[in-house]
Structure 1
Amino acid sequence: MNEQVVGIIAGILTAASLVPQFVKSIQEKKVDVSPVMFLLLIGGNGLWIWYGIILDSMPIIITNSFGFIMDVIMLFLRIKYGKK
């Protein structure tokens, strides 16, 4: 298995890890996760995207872009559905 395939699979699994939490949050209209966690993930994914651009690595760019988008959406849901 070449390094591109490993990178793509690793990135997909990592980025997809938020999908179950996203679905649960939408269904329950509740997000019980710290907004700071999402801010840190947004920063980390943003830096991974930048790193992928520097390396010209599409697996890094694409998978971390998906993660970045998921993190932004989850932060929005956390603010929208957060504890009142």
Structure 2
Amino acid sequence: MFITVLGLVAGGFVVIASLPQIIKIITSKKTSDISLQMYILLNIGTFLWVVYGLITNQVAILIPNIIFQAFNLSILFLKLKHG
């Protein structure tokens, strides 16, 4: 149980780390300094973590990465929208 909670807390910090970038993009509508390639690769990697979490039935991997994937897709969408 402790290990699962530790994993969820760690995943929570990773997810929260994306929020300042999302907020900055939404308020400034500027994405020129954001690497498109980085967010494409990050989305692929996060998707694979979600698949891994599903296959191994590890909640501490699955839940944070589903949320992180949504945030990463949001950033990628905003990058493509605002160039």
Shorter chain as denominator, the TM-score bin is over 0.9
RMSD: 1.2
Cα distance in structure 1, aligned partners of 2:70 and 2:13: 15
Number of the residue aligned with 2:14: 14
Runs of at least 5 residues in structure 1 that lack an aligned partner in the other structure: none
Establish whether residue 66 from structure 1 lines up as the match of residue 67 from structure 2: yes
Q: CA deviation at 1:16?
A: 1.3
Cα distance in structure 1, aligned partners of 2:28 and 2:71: 17
Amino acid at match of 2:53: G
Structure 1: 4+ residue segments shifted above 2 A: none
Alignment of 1:1-84 (within 5 A): 2-31=2-31, 32-82=33-83
Cα distance in structure 1, aligned partners of 2:36 and 2:20: 17
- TM-score under structure 1 normalisation? 0.91
- TM-score under structure 2 normalisation? 0.92
Runs of at least 5 residues in structure 2 that lack an aligned partner in the other structure: none
**Could you report, residue by residue, the CA deviation over 1:13-70 in whole angstroms, capped at 9, with x for unpaired residues?**
0111110000010000012211111111111101101111121011211100111111
In the comparison of the two structures, how many residue pairs are matched?
Answer: 82
Instruction: State the identity as a percent.
Output: 37
Amino acid at match of 1:62: I
Amino acid at match of 2:46: N
Amino acid at match of 1:65: I
